[in-house]
Amino acid sequence: MNDIAPAIELKGISKAFGPVQANKDISIRVMPGTIHGIIGENGAGKSTLMSILYGFYKADAGEVFISGVKTEIPDSQAAISAGIGMVFQHFKLVKNFSVLENVVLGAEDGALLKPSLRKARKQLTALSEEYELNVDPDAVIEDIGVGMQQRVEILKALYRQADILILDEPTGVLTPAEADQLFRILGRLKEEGKTIILITHKLREIMDITDTVSVMRRGEMTSTVKTSETNPADLAERMVGRKVLLRVDKVPAQPKDVVLDVRNLNVTDDKGVHRVKDVSFNIRAGEILGIAGVSGNGQSELLEVLGGYEKATGEIYLNGDQLDLTGDKSDGQSRRARGIAHVPEDRQQEGLIMDFAAWENTAFGYHHDPRYQRNRFIMDNAAILKDTQEKMDRFDVRPPNPMLAAKNFSGGNQQKIVVAREIERNPDVLLVGQPTRGVDIGAIEFIHQQIVALRDAGKAILLVSVELEEIMGLSDRIAVMFDGQIMGERMPDETDEKELGLLMAGMTNGEAA
Amino acid sequence: MDFFTFVQLGDASVRMAIPLLLACLAGLFSERAGIFDIGLEGKMLAAAFLAAAVSFTTGSVWVGLLAGIAISVTLSLIHGIASITFRGNQLISGVAINFFAAGLTVVIAQGWFAQGGRTPSLPRDARFGSVDFPGALTRVRDKMQASPGMQFYSEFISGHSILVYLGLLTVPLSWWILYRTRFGLRLRAVGEAPEAVDTAGISVVRLRFSAVIIAGILCGIAGAYLSTAVQAGFTKDMTANRGFIALAALIFAKWRPWYALGACLLFGLFFAIDNRFQNIQLQVIWIMVLLIGVSVLMTSWAARKEKIDLWVLGGLSAVLTLVALLAWRGAVTDEIGAMAALFETVKVPSQLIQSLPYLFVVIVLAGFVGKAIPPRAGGQPYVKER
Amino acid sequence: MDGMPKWADVVLVPVISLLLAAIISVIVFMAIGQNPWEAIKLMAYGAVGTSDFLGYTLFYATNFIFTGLCVAVAFHASLFNIGGEGQVLLGGLGAAIVCIFIPWPHWTLALVAGSAAAALFGALWVVIPAYLQARRGSHIVITTIMFNFMASGLLIFMLAGPLKPAGTMQVATGIFPEATHLPSLHDLAGVFGLDLFGRSPVNISIFLALAACVGVWALIWHTRLGFEIRALGRSESAAKYAGISAVNITMIALLISGGLAGMMAVNNTMGINSPQLVDNAAGGAGFIGIAVALMGRNHPVGIVIAALLFGALYQGGAELSAATSVQVQIVVVIQALVIMFTGALDEMVRSPIRKIFLRMDRSSAAGE
């Protein structure tokens, strides 16, 4: 083993962003022809480390060796010529360019385009066949699905003759079936002698595909082990630094009357795409309905309609009264007034105003609340401040400073501010989208407990999440969405991840068999 | 209108269109790379001044042109430093550049020539003369008596400044650069998805600076053309908002070079009409048909939309209808009575005619002449994501 | 992100920006062969040297407070209303019509009606650009610039036609009736036996401007509407989630902005020594408002300070150009520099200061 140089070796990498130490003295060796997993919580520093390796950031200290040779990587160009390719979590593609143009961009052969494109087309076809990627070089990116877009990213790296491929959370946007296909491709690449680094927070993926795995926690590399010598519970403990409940503790639900009744809901977006197709379901008081599905299958639009800021056709009844879906009363204010609270999927873009102070964010959406007014015209900022302070204390938001701008809180604390604002209204219905995305495990447990507590208080809760574990753990009933439709409803204890995965891919049991 | 008038109008349109076209293409390169440039106006103005001043001082119009380009590129670089390097607000930077040029040209012109903020009139050899094609007639009297083909050749094809031909050549050249070269591919990419360019190992900063420099060069030529080819010297605010109209033309052209040519020729035609027909008279009935017709169309469109549309467009319609009625009322006198007044001709206010290009800009921007999708990353500074 | 104390953000950064603008202005003076020290002395004397000059400075400052507020309110909604110039002209038209065609018994009533009409006309002039921005996404900057030109066309048409008194040559309205003339501060000071501000036109509209500052402050930070304006300005997607109508708030913010610009006309028509509406009634004040708002950090207190500064600059510049061969456009140059440094190059000034404070933080932390 000692006579083969590692494909990549990092020694003592450190990186700070202002006062935040993102990477602390990290060392790692990845052998050629292996798949190496890096696992850690959100904010553990995985992405920063890989960005340093790809020349996106300059490390404050440390050295990089590629195939035994010390290499400086001041920019992405250097990383590419060192044979490193990267597939980012958010694809770096030009949406209105063709696949071919995207692959060629930055790897042209000369000042004129035509010869480069001609050459690339030939190679692309060869690569596409070799690795069974099935990519049409003339397709425009915005017209193809995410799975295909991801393969374009892989092609980009291969076209640049990358020997080392880094994939950052590659399965977040994929159905289980697409993820399986990706893993088959990665397997092929490994057989061809490529080295692959897989960054993920999903334990299952690490167990399924990697040869070795490194665990990161709070900017430090805590351990590196052979995958065959570990297990999920062990990895989870290494990630968090203590024993973790992989399940949510809750008593069986006691559903009562139907609170929210959705009938034949249809949503068509601005571009004329039919996003939600004839969706019907109901939620009873005291139960959590989980909606599973790969992102982009209509769940977001469903939340937006219920939250009042997307128009739809169909009928929605709240406690027997019909909601307005198109007119003057179809806005967030009216929904809140009717007792529908909403923790949105994207707290940075929707749930919070990042430049506003915490106290302003606490009033955000509820700024018409009579308790927040001094008189007809003037708001009672002091009352809002006091209310915020109380909420921050109850939800253990740190630092408990209501004057601090939202952007200065960590992801978990930001989410707590949003959840506190929505739950403390004691709503009849709570809409929750991706409640724990980008939230550390401690806060996840807390937020889950709050949601379950609200259910036990007899409220109806609609939970949308792309994390199957979260859906399975929290829901009392699970509906699966695919391509705007509800593929079916299951009870959590009568189903498993495999069955849900098939439904998420648009297949019912009969088809799969 | 005889054929020669028609040719003359076309000729004037081209002449008026050239500075718009150059500025429009300048905006095109800049915005395609993701940098809004509202400072086209200021760059043109600065170039117009320096080109005239240097042409006058050195006696060489080519040196003047270079000086114009140099100052315009300098302002472009300032815009680049503000909006690319320091990620400042591109609109504010552009506005600052416009004021800077508007003020400084006058102040410097006074300090330099002491003629009340303008340059002295340029002698013939310090200007761009017209290029006469072989066999083309040059005297207006000869042209008027020539055959239509000859009129077209002599007036429309021949006899423009070299910068006009150069300006027209920039259209195919821009197209070729944009769609047939590596630089063009990267330029288009950096305005759509700078992160894709960055991760492909190409410097976003360098690409964007190249784009603003190209914009500076084109604005420089446009400005020099105004003060050394169209007119013989610099006068205060001589660009007369062409920079802003070029931006509207750019939107109209959907950020494409050939469309830009069409859009600028159309605006050029507006200016040509504006110059030639200061005095337009219309029968009252036509004014009323036009205004009330527009009102009815607008209101009926708005009635099918939302409340706010009805309020605004309905209100505007009411104002237009009121204007139509006032025009009628104004034509009524005791002798002719109300009915006959409908067929009186009245003069359209010259201020209205002069406002037509601006009005057209607003209509273009309103998107009622086709929806335009700007480059996706336009106006946003590029920050690497954490 | 912040890493610097509030006083540095509010005071230090604008002061340094201003210094940078001043340095470049000095270079410009030297380039045109003017002794910068002499020029600055002349300008300073011209701005505050006599009671009369001070009055003019305050008069211009009144204008700039209104236009500065106009730009600032729009900025809070992340909108760039560059049409203040045209909105001022329309405001003037509104005030003139009210003053000329309605016989007011007393200036107090005329002031109320004139302000209302000026604000209304100013606001109406922004309706179309606002609507196009809100509903069609048309670029407010370009549309408002176009509306500036159309406003001056409309004004000249009105002044050369319907509003021109018979038998005069000037493109202007006649002098407004006596009862609409606003008392000047000179008259007001006379009541207390003081002789201040000479023949300068500074008048009681300055109190209207200060009241507008208080109003804007309360609006932006203490009302639901202000909350919604700021929320929309910071994050359109979040505003949508909260049920804040982007169309309505965009329209309302711009109407308020246009109304504030329009109100400037009260000072500039009813307030001047021989009250009338002339064809270049705005005199660039709409544009100076941009510099004032940027320098004043969109806060009324900052705007008052910046407006005083620009009032002094404007008045000083006028005196300078009267005394020397320097063109009055020097003021536009300085205004451009202020916009550049406080607006677009903000980060250039800010980031070294932030670094210094961070370093001081660290060294003091290390020292403990």
Q: Where are the domains of chain A?
A: 8-240, 258-512
What is the distance between the alpha carbons of residues A341 and A451, in angstroms, rounded to a whole number? 12
> Distance between CA A135 and CA A124 in Å, rounded?
9
A164 closest CA partner among A18, A33, A289, A38: A33
Question: Which chains touch B (3+ CB pairs under 8 A)?
Answer: A, C
**Taking a C-beta distance cutoff of 8 angstroms, is the pair C284, C332 a contact?**
yes
Tell me the pairing of strands A321-322 and A313-318.
antiparallel
**Interface residue A42 vs chain B (CB under 8 A):** no
Residue C128, SS3? helix
- Rounded to 5 degrees, what are φ and ψ at C199? -95, 15
- C204 interfacial to chain B (CB closer than 8 Å): no
As a whole number, the mean pLDDT across chain C is: 91
Tell me the C-alpha distance between B25 and B215, whole Å: 7
Answer for the pair C303, C292: CB distance below 8 angstroms, yes or no. yes
The position carrying tokens 């938001």 is A397
Instruction: Name chain A contacts of C218, Cβ cutoff 8 Å.
Output: 378
pLDDT in tens, C11-62: 888 899 989 999 999 999 999 888 999 999 999 999 999 999 999 999 999 9
Least confident of A14-28, A212-226, A442-456, C294-308: A14-28
How many Cα neighbours within 13 Å face the side chain of B165? 13
Q: Which residues of A touch C240 (CB under 8 A)?
A: 309, 332, 350
A105 and B CB contact within 8 Å: yes
Model confidence at B1: pLDDT above 70: no
Numbered residues of chain B with Cβ closer than 8 Å to any chain A Cβ: 179-186, 188-189, 192-193, 195-203, 376, 384-386
Interface check A379 vs C, CB under 8 A: yes
The two structure tokens encoding residue A354: 């990042």
| pLDDT score recorded for residue A128 | 87
- Shortest distance between the Cα of B63 and any Cα of chain A, in A, equals 31
Determine whether the interchain pair B386/A86 forms a contact, defined as Cβ–Cβ distance below 8 Å.
Answer: no
C127 in B contact zone (CB under 8 Å): yes
d(CA A153, CA A160): 11
Domain boundaries, chain C: 61-303
Closest CB to C333: pick one of B82, B107, B244: B107
Mean pLDDT value across chain A: 89
pLDDT by residue (tens digit) across B106-139?
999 998 999 988 999 999 888 998 888 888 888 8
Query: Which of B179, B196, B201 is facing A77, going by the closest CB pair?
Result: B201
Above 70 in pLDDT, residue C1? no
Q: How far is CA C244 from the centre of its chain?
A: 28
Query: What's the mean pLDDT in B341-364?
Result: 86
Detail the DSSP E strand segments found in chain B: 130-131, 160-161, 281-283, 345-347
Backbone φ and ψ for A443, nearest 5 degrees, come out as: -70, -30
C171/B contact by beta carbon, under 8 A? no
Name the token pair of A357.
């102070």
The dihedral sign for the CA sequence C215, C219, C220, C223 = positive
Q: Which is higher by pLDDT, A512 or B245?
A: B245
pLDDT for the residue C196: 85
Of the candidates C207, C328, C188, C204, the one whose C-alpha atom is nearest the C-alpha of residue C275 is: C204
Q: What is the pLDDT of residue B252?
A: 87
Closest residue in chain C to residue A351, using alpha carbons only: C238
Which among C222, C224, C235 has the least Cβ separation from residue A353?
C235
> Tokens 């999927």 sit at which residue?
A345
Half-sphere exposure of residue B22, counting CA atoms within 13 Å on the CB side? 30
Tell me: the pLDDT tens digits for C144-180? 999 999 999 999 999 988 888 888 888 889 899 999 9
Q: Which residue of B has its CA nearest to C133?
A: B366
In angstroms, rounded to a whole number, what is the distance separating the alpha carbons of residues A449 and A451? Answer: 5
B188 and A107 within 8 Å at the Cβ level: the answer is no
CA distance C342 to chain A (A): 20
Which residue spans within chain C are E strands per DSSP? none
pLDDT digits (tens, 9 = 90+) for A477-504: 999 999 899 999 999 989 888 888 888 8
Write the residue in B241, B316, B367 that is nearest to C138 by C-beta. B367
By the 10 Å C-beta count (0-12 exposed, 13-18 middle, 19+ buried), B156 is classed as middle
Q: Under an 8 A CB cutoff, do A105 and B181 touch?
A: no
Q: Give dist(CA B58, CA A445) in Å, integer.
A: 78
Q: Parallel, antiparallel, or unpaired for β A477-482 and A485-490?
A: antiparallel
| Gap between the Cα atoms of A491 and A313, Å rounded | 28
Q: Which residues of C touch B248 (CB under 8 A)?
A: 142, 146
Min Cα distance B53 → chain C (Å) is: 14
- Phi and psi at residue C42, to the nearest 5°: -60, -45
Give residue-wise pLDDT tens across range A102-157: 999 999 998 999 999 999 999 999 988 888 888 899 999 988 888 899 999 999 99
Q: Which amino acid is at B355?
A: S
d(CA A157, CA A154): 5
Using the beta-carbon criterion (under 8 Å), do A18 and C244 form an inter-chain contact?
Answer: no
Would you state the pLDDT for residue B368?
67
Q: Specify the 3-state DSSP secondary structure of A309.
A: coil
Cβ-defined contact of C335 to B316 (cutoff 8 Å): no
A216 shares contact with chain B (CB less than 8 Å): no
CA atoms B4, B10, B16, B22: torsion sign: negative
pLDDT digits (tens, 9 = 90+) for A439-455: 877 788 889 999 999 99
A428: DSSP letter: S
Q: What's the confidence (pLDDT) of residue A360? A: 95
* Percent above pLDDT 70 for chain A: 97
How high is the pLDDT of residue C366?
Answer: 54
Q: Do A76 and B188 touch (CB under 8 A)?
A: no
Instruction: Report the relative pairing of strands A212-217 and A35-40 from DSSP bridges.
Output: parallel
Q: From CA C110, how far away is CA C104, in angstroms rounded?
A: 6
Say if CB B71 and CB B46 are below 8 A apart: yes
Residues 6+ apart with CB under 8 A from A121: A100, A137
Pairwise CB contact (< 8 Å): A113 & B184: yes
Query: What are A246's two structure tokens?
Result: 């992989």
Cα(C303)–Cα(C66) distance, integer angstroms: 9
∠ CA B68-B74-B75, nearest 5°, is 95
Instruction: Calculate how close chain A gets to B361, using CA atoms only, in Å.
Output: 26
What is the three-class DSSP state of C368?
Answer: coil
pLDDT, residue C368, reads: 43
Q: Is the CB of residue B196 less than 8 Å from the CB of residue B187?
A: no
Rounded mean pLDDT, A63-69 = 91
**Which residue among B38, B88, B111 places its CB closest to the CB of C346?**
B88
Are C248 and B308 inside 8 Å of each other by CB? Answer: yes
Q: Which residues of A touch B386 (CB under 8 A)?
A: 17, 47-48
What CATH number does the domain located at A258-512 have? 3.40.50.300
Tell whether A484 is within 8 A of chain C (Cβ).
no
Closest Cβ opposite residue B117 in set C80, C329, C344: C329
**C residues 6-35 lying closer than 8 A (beta carbon) to B:** 28, 31-34
Q: Report the residue from A332, A377, A405 with minimal CB separation from C223.
A: A377
Mean pLDDT along residues B53-63: 95
Find the closest chain B residue to A75 by CA distance: B201
Q: What are phi and psi of C244, to 5 degrees?
A: -90, 125
The verdict on B151 touching C (C-beta cutoff 8 Å) is no
Q: Are A502 and A509 in contact (CB under 8 A)?
A: yes
CB atoms within 10 A of CB B343: 12
B317 — phi, psi (to 5°)? -60, -40
Q: Is C353 on the interface with B (CB under 8 A)?
A: no
Gyration radius of chain B over CA positions: 24
| Chain B contact for A359 (CB, 8 A cutoff) | no
Nearest CA distance, B260 vs chain A (angstrom): 20
Does the domain at A8-240 match CATH 3.90.380.10? Answer given as no
What is this model's ipTM?
0.89
Structural contact between residues B84 and B205, judged by C-beta atoms closer than 8 angstroms = yes
Distances in Å between the Cα of C81 and the Cα atoms of B12, C84, C150, C239, C259 are 34, 7, 16, 21, 12
Q: Which of residues 271-300 of C touch B (CB under 8 A)?
A: 287, 290, 294
Residue A41 and residue A242 in contact, taking contact as beta carbons nearer than 8 Å: no
Residue B173 has pLDDT above 80, yes or no: yes
B294: chain C residues, CB-CB within 8 Å: none
